[in-house]
Each structure stands twice: as structure tokens, then as C-alpha cells.
Structure 1
């Protein structure tokens, strides 16, 4: 898809992968809408997008877990920007802890952010895309949705939900020319791990397979308008996830051993 003057909405885009997706879309001439809770940071993202694209860009403060905030942002997009051509659902967070010690209030919040808020935000935009018979929705899940590992019980559960939702939504919207792509990244070098793993040990232990947000963002934007089912990176973890499904015992060994570095 030629992204010139196309409206690209990215949630969770104050930093990390979401921020880089905004910049890559702006480089392609898109009208970028950055949405996140940290209003000061998305203001900076907006300014850089305008500089990269030479076009208007927008920044709306969004708490994806709050239905009122979602409604407010969707109304602003409809009134101030117009129809959405590309939606990237990137908002989400994780925390690594053994389930028996997990704070279930945090678990509830993780589902509200990673799953329920994403569903609510997506439905409103999907209705518009169906009416237009055009659009592309990207849902950021995780390799944790394909291969759960110890200390990721709640995070994996939310991302399994995102993957299942995306698979069904893709089939529902395909007849009306709306594409749905699931993004399943492994660990990305972002501030996600500042909350998920405050010790910093996880990224240090898996340094060889850590992804950069800039590279993943380029891959995502290159797939806009294409019939792409999934984006899975790194390739090593994609292969491991296939073993996880096809050869359960080997899968448990990989998930509980080789990739158990939290």
C-alpha cells in the first residue's frame, strides 16, 4: 500500500516499538496518529512524525484500559483526522513472576490493557473499515503466545488471547478486503523490560536474540496492504515455537530449558 496521506493509528506509541512504527509510517508519507498515556512523550513523537512526513500528525492521550478514554480518543480521531486506514494495536505490558506469587490485581490490569482495551478500540475502527471495504489491522501479540515459558503465565495468557482473536478476526474481515496481521516478536530492546524484569537479567541472558524496535517497525510497515497472516521474529524462536506445537516433549524442553532465562 502506498502510505502517502493514509491515516495510521498506533497505540502504545510513546516509546519503543510503537514509537518506531510511527516514524517508519511517517517516512512513507502517512498521517500518523500516536496514542499513549504519556502525553509529553507522544507530543515529541508527533513533532518528529511531522518533520519526517512533512504532513500533519496527531497525538492523543489514551488509557487503553479505560473505556471512557477509548471513546474520547476515537471521537477525536473521527472528528479531527478522519477514517483510519491502518491500525497498529501495540499497547500492552508484561511482568515476569511465578504464578503462585503473582499479584492478581496486576493480572486483571494486564488483561484490561493487553486484551479488553484492545478489543474495544479495534471494534470501533473495524466497523468503519468494513463500511469502507478497506483497511489493515496489526495486532502485536508475542512469541509468548506461541511458546509459553515459566514466569510468563499471565502475560502468555493475554497474548494467547490476542493471537486467537486475531486469527478469527482475520477470517471474518477477509471477505470485505480488510487485512489482519498478527505480530509475534520475541524480546525487543525497549523499556518494556524495565517493568517486566526490573532485575535486567533477562535481556542480558538472551542478548544474542534480542530484536531492535527499528528493524521490526520497518518489517511491519513493509507489510501494510499485503495478505500477511503473521510476522514472527526472531526466526530461531519461530522454529522453536513450531517444535513446541509439533513435538510437545521437545517443546517443553525448549520452553523450560533453553528459553527459560527469566
Structure 2
């Protein structure tokens, strides 16, 4: 049992599947209470019933599309009324589409930026003033190794995750003055239904299948970092090492790795 999590009230966006669902399970396993946000209400309700029955924790469901910016203040106000206190938010809602830049429709560009970046910022903006006032809290933003290591056929997705990292790094310095921790989570490819949207051909998923992270393992790393001063969680380590080398020698990596990158 993680004593830091027990009894805490935690918001998770994009909680209806993938690592969002797995993080909710890990929070409940450790005695934390949950405000679950996603569009797929039936999946949220099923998860709520499972967690409350199995772990005897408080779980509430809040149907929300994080691009419905006008609705976000009402939902977060309701969460604060229902729970009284909120101790952490995990901004997990997001998606990607792997196409070359000239192939990506503007509606898809707009969709990825709105969900991955603006939705995350809007949700954070609602809870941050409360956390500053209470002098305690933790904001965890699910970014990606794609935000540190750009590659072909993910120009917009990488751009969105670069934006998340830039926002997170600045926010960390601002929030620290008020006792609020901020963590960036940068996973590589995870074995979830993310790729059913991102990679319709199935080529990339097939090429990296043996390297894919398991969602429960990623979730465990994230939940273990709750209420610590962890700056970043980078998974897997070898991929993060690649991103470090890329920052040092970008021209060389782009030249040598170009063919490999296009396997996506």
C-alpha cells in the first residue's frame, strides 16, 4: 500500500481505457479516491462499479470532452463540490495520428492540438488556482518521448507533445512556489488501442511490437511517483537515452536514423 496515495482525491482524464484505466486501478489499489473523466460514459461507469466493489474507495464519473472548453469549469466545480478537496490531477486525455505532414488534414491537426494541448491546459487551469490556495497538490501531464525526439510521420503529434513539455516545464517552476509538484510523463509506444487511431495500417505497431510498454507497468510507475518531487518519468530508459543523444547530435541522428524512423 502506497501511504502517500491512500485517502487522496485524484482526477484522471482519459480514464475510460488504456493507461488511464490502468492508472485508475492502481490508485484504487492504493486506497485513493477517483474522479474519472472521459467521453465514453459506459466504460467509465463499468470501471467505477469495478473499483468501488473491489477496493471500497470513492469513485465518481464525469462525462466530458476536454475540447468542450465551456463545460470544463462546470465539471471541475462539481468535482470540488463532490470531493471537498482535490490532491492530484493526471492529464491523460490525448491521441495521435501518424501521417506525413502533407497528408494530415487540418481537422486532424486541429483535433490533436485541441485535445493534447488546449484540453490539458484548460483542465490544469481549472484546478491549479485551488491547489495554489490549499498549498499542496500534484499535476502529472502525460506527454511522450515523441515530445523529446521528433520523427517522420508524427509531425503534428510530436508538435503537440513538445508543447505539453514546454508548458509542463514552465508550470513546474511557477507552481513550486505554492507547494504544487508538476511531473511530465514521457512514455514510448504502449500496447493500447492508441494505435487503432494513430496507425490504421498497423505497420508501426507491428514494427515496434517487441518494444511496446505494458500499460499496467507504465501506470504503476506513474502512481508510484504521486506526491513526490519527480520531475520526469521516462520510459523505456533506452528510448530516453536516444532522446538525450538526439538533443546533443540532432543532425547526425536525423541522417543516420532517417530510414529507421520511416518504419512508422
Partner of 1:150: 152
Q: Decide whether aligned partners of structure 1 residues 254 and 195 sit closer, same or farther in structure 2, where only a CA change above 3 A counts.
A: farther
Query: Does the alignment pair 1:240 with 2:239?
Result: no
Q: CA RMSD in A?
A: 1.2
**Cα deviations by residue, 1:7-64 (Å, 9 ceiling, x for unpaired):** 0100001000000000000001000111100000011111122134312211110100
Q: Aligned runs of 1:76-115 on 2, under 5 Å? A: 76-115=78-117
- Assess, with a 3 A threshold, how the Cα gap between structure 1 residues 57 and 161 changes in structure 2: closer, same or farther: same
Cα distance in 1 for residues equivalent to 2:219 and 2:152: 28
**What is the rounded CA distance, in whole Å, between the counterparts of 1:163 and 1:233 in structure 2?**
15
Q: Is the 8 A contact 1:33 1:57 kept in 2?
A: yes
- The whole-number CA distance in structure 1 between the counterparts of 2:47 and 2:83 is 17
For 2:257 and 2:149, locate their aligned partners in 1 and report how far apart those are by CA, in whole Å: 7
Cα-to-partner distance string for 1:63-112 (whole Å, 9 max, x where unaligned): 00011231231122012122210100000010011111110111111111
Corresponding residue of 1:5: 7
Residue 175 (structure 1) aligned with residue 177 (structure 2): yes
- Whether the 8 Å CA contact 2:88–2:138 is kept in 1: the answer is yes
Distance in 2, matches of 1:256 and 1:132, equals 49
Q: 1:195 aligns with which of 191, 197, 219?
A: 197
CA contact (8 A) 1:147 1:255 kept: no
Judge conservation of contact 1:8–1:86 (CA < 8 Å) in 2.
yes
Task: Extract structure 1 runs of 4+ deviating beyond 6 A.
Answer: none
**Gaps spanning 5+ residues in structure 1: where?**
none
Determine which of 35, 40, 43 is the counterpart of 2:42.
40
SS of aligned partner of 2:71:
helix
Instruction: Identify the residue that residue 227 of structure 1 maps to in structure 2.
Output: 229
Paired with 1:154 and 1:133, the residues of 2 have a C-alpha distance of: 36
CA distance in 1, matches of 2:259, 2:23: 33
- Work out the CA distance in 2 between the residues paired with 1:173 and 1:116: 19
1:133 maps to: 135
TM-score with structure 1 setting the length: 0.97
Q: 1:177 to 1:15 in 2, by over 3 A?
A: same
How many residues align? The count is: 262
**Aligned twin of 2:259:** 257
Contact 2:152-2:261 within 8 A present in 1 as well:
no
Aligned residue for 1:67, secondary structure, equals: coil
- 2:121 is aligned to 119
Q: Give the TM-score, by structure 2 length.
A: 0.96
